[in-house]
Amino acid sequence: ALLHASVMGPVLAVGGFFSTANLSGPVALFFVTQSSGSHQVISIISSAFWNSKVQELGRPASLLTRFLRGDSKLSTALLCLVVFSLDIAVGSLYATYFQAAFHVFDVIVSLVFLIIGVVLGFDFLSGAIGFQIECRKVSKGLGENVSPVRSDMDNLLQRLSYCAIGIGISLLIQSLGILALATPTGRTVAGWNVMWGVILDVGYIKVTLIVHMFRPKKSSRQIQQVRATPSDLVPKGAHLAITPHVKGNKGGFSQ
């Protein structure tokens, strides 16, 4: 997804929209939604992952949060399938110039993806900000009396919360970009290029944050092991002696 988000924009901008004619009209129009369906599926899966981690804190969850975190795996899978299929269907209709005959089609498509983006964006933001507030209250109460395991979990949740805030903001900015495309300015060449480029760049940032969210993080115990020097691994009172290398005798270390 990260590679797709980084390559798709320059290819379409140079090869299709208001530039060269390397790409045919139907091909460029098929990707006019910037594969929003697949990106929204990734956002839904990330939301489920984030909400499942917040669930470990025992915070009360709304009906929407329980749905997005995958309490019903079948409904979450169906939602991903519907969103992905919707994007394929919309791109296929654009490729056949369907919007030229039915101008209301642009409005309907923009409204659907706008609703999905706003819902996911507010879900990420509300959960992350709520976690930050609650985490700071708990940290003040515990002080420094935190076990290494608990500290590792807190660090993981802190990193996930910051990523969730960034993803939520990115989704809302993309939603604002979709609204801007529906204005008369979005119908001009300059307005279209600027707004479409902003949506694309913000989408790249969003996918980067999602990748960072799923990046494994070393625990404090692993970090201490990496930082340990050879002298730390030698028992107290033991000494290392270097045996010189002579014929018939291999040099090495001995205690």
Whether residue 255 is predicted with pLDDT greater than 60 in this model: the reply is: no
The answer to whether residue 235 sits within a structural domain is no
Domain containing residue 49: 2-228
d(Cα 128, Cα 111) in Å, to the nearest integer?
Answer: 26
Domain count, the chain: 1
pLDDT tens for residues 174-207?
Answer: 888 888 877 788 778 788 778 878 888 888 888 8
The answer to whether residue 116 sits within a structural domain is yes
Pick the residue with more confidence: 6 or 17?
6
Whether residue 89 is predicted with pLDDT greater than 90 in this model: the reply is: yes
Q: Quick one: pLDDT at residue 85?
A: 92
- The terminus-to-terminus CA distance of the chain in angstroms comes to 54
The answer to whether residue 34 sits within a structural domain is yes
The answer to whether residue 250 sits within a structural domain is no
Average pLDDT, the chain: 73
Q: Quick one: pLDDT at residue 223?
A: 42
Is residue 82 within 8 Å of 88, Cβ to Cβ? Answer: no
Tokens of 16: 């299709």
Q: What's the rounded mean pLDDT across residues 80-108?
A: 88
Q: Which residue has the tokens 């981690």?
A: 53
The answer to whether residue 200 sits within a structural domain is yes
The answer to whether residue 247 sits within a structural domain is no
Is residue 133 within 8 Å of 125, Cβ to Cβ? Answer: no
Q: Which residue has the tokens 């989408």?
A: 203
Pick the residue with more confidence: 194 or 3?
194
pTM (predicted TM-score): 0.70
Whether residue 3 is predicted with pLDDT greater than 80 in this model: the reply is: no
The answer to whether residue 242 sits within a structural domain is no
Residues 6+ apart with CB under 8 A from 100: none
The answer to whether residue 74 sits within a structural domain is yes
Most confident range, picked from 8-12, 126-130, 182-186, 203-207? 203-207
Is residue 68 within 8 Å of 51, Cβ to Cβ? Answer: yes
Q: Quick one: pLDDT at residue 226?
A: 44
Tokens of 212: 């960072």
